[in-house]
Each structure stands twice: as C-alpha cells, then as structure tokens.
Amino acid sequence: MVLKGLTIRGSIVGTRQDMVEALDFYSRGLIKPTVATTRLEDINDVFRQMEEGKIEGRVVIDYR
C-alpha cells in the first residue's frame, strides 16, 4: 500500500476470513468510508466536535 499511501488497520475482533470479506466489500465499492481531512490548527474544533458526538467516521489531521 506504500505507493498509494494506504494504511490497513488491524482489529482484535473477527477472523482472517472476516478481514478478507471486508476488503472484498471495499474493493467492489460496497463500502464508502466517511473520512474528513482537517488542519492541525483546527484540532481544538475536532476535539469539541468529538465531545459533542458530531463526528461521523474518521478525521485525519493533515500536517502539511
């Protein structure tokens, strides 16, 4: 996943077959992850939104 900049995270829940099936669902376009990108300067807003339960999916901090 290096050249595409992808990261796969593990989980202690499920089996290897569950992982294979989940990756297959994603590769077929059946899963649409919800990801928002924000700047480090906005980290306090991200924490506030987390505390208020207003974040859906994941927030990625862009350090550039």
How much of the chain exceeds pLDDT 70, in percent? 94
Report the C-alpha gap between 56 and 3 in whole angstroms: 27
CB 46 within 8 A of CB 62: no
37-61 confidence digits (pLDDT tens): 999 999 999 999 999 999 989 999 9
Among the listed residues 21, 61, 23, 55, the one whose alpha carbon sits nearest the alpha carbon of residue 41: 61
Task: Reply yes or no on whether the pLDDT at 1 is more than 70.
Answer: no
The residue segments making up the domain with residue 46 are: 2-61
Averaged pLDDT, 12-29: 88
Number of structural domains the chain divides into: 1
Average pLDDT rounded to a whole number, residues 12-41: 90
